[in-house]
Structure 1
Amino acid sequence: MRLVATTLPVNPPSETLHLTEAQLYQGLISKARDPIRFVKQIQQCRILSEHESGLRREIVFTGRPEAMLEDVEYFPPGLVMFTMTSPTSNDRTTPQARITNLISHTPDGGLFLTFSFAFGPNGQLDKDSEADTREREVRKAGEETVAHTLAVVRELVQSGQIKA
């Protein structure tokens, strides 16, 4: 198991359009329903079922032939959790990865967005070189995805698809 987390400020001084927590959370729900626009590594998504507090979807990552199942849970006003399993594995209940999208605050009112990625079976820290390489890949992709998610949410707010 490895855990990688990436945090970025939501409203850095250089940004002219400041997002609210509510707008960002709406953006994370949009990301759960339509991840292709937000996550460059996802090439296909099909929602299998949806309920008040989440959904189940099937996703296909670029360069990987096997679809993955994700159970997505919403925790308003600031957390979306993803539990990924393999639909073709003999053990469809053991998560392959757990991902969180967390909105947090600083005491002075700063807003931050953190994505965490726990991958591999839960337990001891994987210490081999393959796990080190995977961690670097996930860290780089995570940094890009947090930044891209913020950019897409801003686009949705500017276009009026997400309201104030």
Structure 2
Amino acid sequence: MDEIRVGDAERSNALDRLGTLFADGYLDVGEFEERTGQAAVARTRGELSMLFDDLPAEPFTLEKRTPSEVELDEKLAAKRRMDTAIYTTLIGGLAVYLVLEIGLDLDYAWVVWPVVGILAAAWYAVFDISDEEDKILEELLEKERSHRAERLKLAAERRKKLGK
């Protein structure tokens, strides 16, 4: 099976996968450029598959994490859920306000805003995140997003150079 020729679709899929692995931090820039160059000119399945021999099929999670690493991961997940809840509350509040103010022409539609504010503040208690933790977690999430975006940008530029 390794000697079966591959087409542009297989090479493109390999480049996509290498880009994802690069963005996730499994490859450094040099390895990424070398492997994408090989993927772009690969002729057989064997040539493509050897590019992934030392890479995980799926993202790897460490079995033995310290309690502080587990706690940080849990807090980051809670922060993401809390942000979603707050944004949903704000958007829902805006929708209710518009219906009451414009649709029903109620004079007391403004009451929605203090209720939305109280609900938004309550999410911090529900998810057990203090203001100080929120700031730190937001910085960590922003660094994570920025780092991943930069690596994805490099991956896209490499694809353009390869003409794929």
Question: Do these two structures clear the TM 0.5 threshold for a shared fold by scoring above it?
Answer: no
| Greater fraction helix | 2
| Greater fraction strand | 1
TM-score by length of 1: 0.33
User: Is the radius of gyration larger for structure 1 or structure 2?
Assistant: 2
TM-score by length of 2: 0.33
